[in-house]
Amino acid sequence: MRRFVRSHATELALLAVIAVICVFLSFATDRFFTLGNAFDLLNTSSVNIIFAVGLLVVLIAGGIDISFAVAASVVQYLAATVLGWIGGGNWIVGLIIAGALGVALGCINAFLIHRFRIISIVATISTFNIFFGLLMFFTGGVSIYNLPDWLTTRVVLFEREMADGTWAEITLPVLIMAICVFATWTLITRTTTGRQLYAFGDNPEGARRFGINI
């Protein structure tokens, strides 16, 4: 038990802080510890958590990505545009297109950092401005409103009527979030690549001398 506490001190400290916040909020409002509120928190936080687990991998490797928020906006616009070009689609097609576009933009950052040995924060600040500038240039700052119904309709995976007549719902982004969290946890804790990321983030030169291909 003592070994577990020592090896997970940071995680346990964060859990303690979250517990204190939850206790405070439970006294502040009687609706905090309700199923509806828990589902609302999951639905509204799912996209941010997806961003967070992606950024976590970069941070573990000793880098930082400033451009991910703008890259997400670019991916959203391009994915919606591509779906319009092909005349439709569904959630699976949309996820594949968005994922491919996200990987492509990430590869641009990776190329700049690896090929030219640019510090990650400098490279991603540059691509942040480039991505944002190109997005504003080609769109004129105009949003896309003519979207297919399947893209604008909430996909409800689970719903339950509460005693007060309101509905508690779990939507598709929560499922995607759970998959991303599990995949990231598996990568950084159960694979050789994850251990190499930790080693590289802690000591790049030591990792290189140990034989890790960086």
Interval 89-132: pLDDT, tens: 788 898 899 999 999 999 999 999 999 999 999 999 999 999 99
Q: In whole numbers, what is the pLDDT of the chain averaged over residues?
A: 91
Q: Which two tokens stand for residue 69?
A: 């928020």
In a domain, 64, yes or no: yes
**Domain for residue 90, yes or no?**
yes
pLDDT score at 89: 77
Domain co-membership, 48 together with 22: no
Residues 19-61: pLDDT tens digits? 999 999 999 988 898 899 999 999 999 999 999 999 999 999 9
Domain count of the chain? 2
Whether residue 176 sits in one domain with residue 88:
yes
Percent pLDDT > 90 in the chain is 65
Shared domain check, 10 and 64: no
Cα–chain center distance at 157:
20
Backbone angles phi, psi at 168, to 5 degrees: -100, 130
Residues 4 and 53 in one domain: no
Chain position carrying tokens 């944002």? 132
**Three-state DSSP class for 145?**
coil
Q: Tell me the residue range of the domain where 21 lies.
A: 1-32
The answer on 11 and 80 residing in a single domain is: no
39, 144: one domain: yes
Residue 28 forms part of a structural domain: yes
Whether residues 139 and 128 fall in one domain: yes
- Show contacts of 123-126: CB within 8 Å, 24+ apart: 124/64, 124/65, 124/66, 124/67, 124/68, 125/66, 125/67
The answer to pTM > 0.85 is yes
pLDDT at 41: 94
Shared domain for 73 and 108, answered yes or no, is yes
Asked if 84 and 105 sit in the same domain, the reply is yes
Domain contains 214: no
Tell me: do 19 and 46 sit in the same domain. Answer: no
Same domain for 199 and 134?
yes
Locate 46 and state its tokens. 């799912």
Say yes or no: 28 and 107 in one domain.
Answer: no
